[in-house]
């Protein structure tokens, strides 16, 4: 059991699209499908579902940072929740408490999009299933994914095209701020300074700094893809 909490485990490192990774994605995807299929029943239990998701996210973040502190590995350079998918975890917590439609409008694109990308190509290094770091990563990002789906499908929150472009603007402003934080801390939040060591979408987007422009286009494209279900719904209305 202790092996699965070690900072430097002697187990096999994470392998992209391994059997364990694919099974994890399938489980989270199945839960997402259930949210959509049973959306009317879940809507009746809205408060309970929101607090269950909130509980999972809070526990995952507290336990993760406690784990880093316990092993003296917490660092300003690597441990701040400045990745878009990481800060989305905290914003989703706030959304689940306040039921803010403005937060949802941002998180449906930035949170859901970054969570899907993070889970598809996670930067987990040495931590494979069933290590604590692996579990916490997918609980937190899976929680963001499910929370955004729940608010959209069950609670009937809807993003707009205006919200899409506002999210693009906010993400870009946020990226500029994080760039200066990266420079000050010699960090690599948002992967603005270099690509992650593990395989990711950035591998096919060109070298630095050109992949930053490609990433911008990929982000906007992903936002439009996420908006398609609502565009279809609007056309049918």
Q: What share of the chain is helix, strand, coil (3-state, %, to 5)?
A: 70, 0, 30
> Can you tell me which residue has the tokens 């092996």?
3
C-alpha distances in Å from residue 159, one per residue of 43, 93, 108, 209: 18, 18, 7, 31
Backbone angles phi, psi at 111, to 5 degrees: -75, -50
Cis? peptide before 130, omega within 30° of 0? yes
Q: Tens-digit pLDDT profile for the chain (237 aa)?
A: 567 899 998 888 999 999 999 999 999 999 999 999 999 999 999 999 999 999 999 999 999 999 999 999 999 999 999 999 999 999 999 999 999 999 999 999 999 999 999 999 999 999 999 999 999 999 999 999 999 999 999 999 999 999 999 999 999 999 999 999 999 999 999 999 999 887 777 888 888 889 999 999 999 999 999 999 999 998 887
Paired tokens of 122:
């996670």
Q: What is the pLDDT of residue 205?
A: 84
C-alpha distances in Å from residue 77, one per residue of 46, 60, 74: 38, 20, 9
Q: What is the pLDDT of residue 200?
A: 79
**Taking the model in full, what pTM does it have?**
0.95
Q: Are 141 and 149 in contact (CB under 8 A)?
A: no
Q: What is the pLDDT of residue 28?
A: 99
Q: Where are the domains of the chain?
A: 13-236
Q: What is the pLDDT of residue 73?
A: 97
Q: Following DSSP, what letter does each residue of 99-136 receive, concatenated?
A: --HHHHHHHHHHHHHHHHHHHHS---TT--TTSHHHHH
Distance from the Cα of residue 145 to its chain's centroid: 7
């Amino acid at each position: 059991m202790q092996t699965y909490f070690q900072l430097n485990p002697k187990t096999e490192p994470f392998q992209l699209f391994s059997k364990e990774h694919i099974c994890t994605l399938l489980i989270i995807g199945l839960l997402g499908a259930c949210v959509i299929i049973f959306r009317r029943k879940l809507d009746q239990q809205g408060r309970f579902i929101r607090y269950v998701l909130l509980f999972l996210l809070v526990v995952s973040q507290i336990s993760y940072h406690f784990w880093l502190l316990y092993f003296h590995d917490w660092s300003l350079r690597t441990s701040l929740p400045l990745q878009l998918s990481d800060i989305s975890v905290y914003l989703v917590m706030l959304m689940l408490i306040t039921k803010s439609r403005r937060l949802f409008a941002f998180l449906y694109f930035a949170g859901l999009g970054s969570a899907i990308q993070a889970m598809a190509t996670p930067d987990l290094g040495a931590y494979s299933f069933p290590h604590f770091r692996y579990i916490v990563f997918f609980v937190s990002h899976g929680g963001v994914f499910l929370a955004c789906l729940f608010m959209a499908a069950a609670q009937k929150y809807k993003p707009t095209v205006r919200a899409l472009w506002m999210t693009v603007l906010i993400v870009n402003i946020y990226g500029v701020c994080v760039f200066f934080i990266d420079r000050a801390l010699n960090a690599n939040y948002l992967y603005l300074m270099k690509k992650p060591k593990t395989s990711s979408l950035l591998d096919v987007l060109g070298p630095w700094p050109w992949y930053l422009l490609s990433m911008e286009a990929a982000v906007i494209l992903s936002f439009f893809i996420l908006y398609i279900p609502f565009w279809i719904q609007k056309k049918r209305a």
